[in-house]
Amino acid sequence: MNSPAQCEVCNRLAADYEAATMEWFRVQGQLRIAEYSRDENASNRIISQLSDIAERRHSLRNARDQHELEQHPQTRCAGS
């Protein structure tokens, strides 16, 4: 069977999503520092970076949903 655990695409999408999540938290930490030091230029730059990352996470999640729907429909709604 074509199980998601053995699927290369699933693994790649999950890894990319996790990496984007880690990056988001890292950049969020930088934002806190920039705001603390009242560095407005840095804050603005970091905020736009955060929105890029958020967009990437969103599209990775969509890609994963789409892929699961097409390749692993039997695993939808299984567990939580």
Q: List residues binding Zn ion (CB under 5 A).
A: 4, 7, 9-10, 71
CB of 23 to Zn ion, least distance (A): 23
- Residue that has been written with the tokens 């705001």 in this structure: 35
Contact 60, 3 (CB under 8 A): no
Residue nearer to Zn ion on the CB measure, 6 or 41 = 6
CB-count exposure of residue 66 (10 Å: 0-12, 13-18, 19+) = exposed
CB of 56 to Zn ion, least distance (A): 19
CB of 22 to Zn ion, least distance (A): 22
Residue nearer to Zn ion on the CB measure, 5 or 25 = 5
Q: Whose CA is closest to 17, among 46, 57, 75?
A: 57
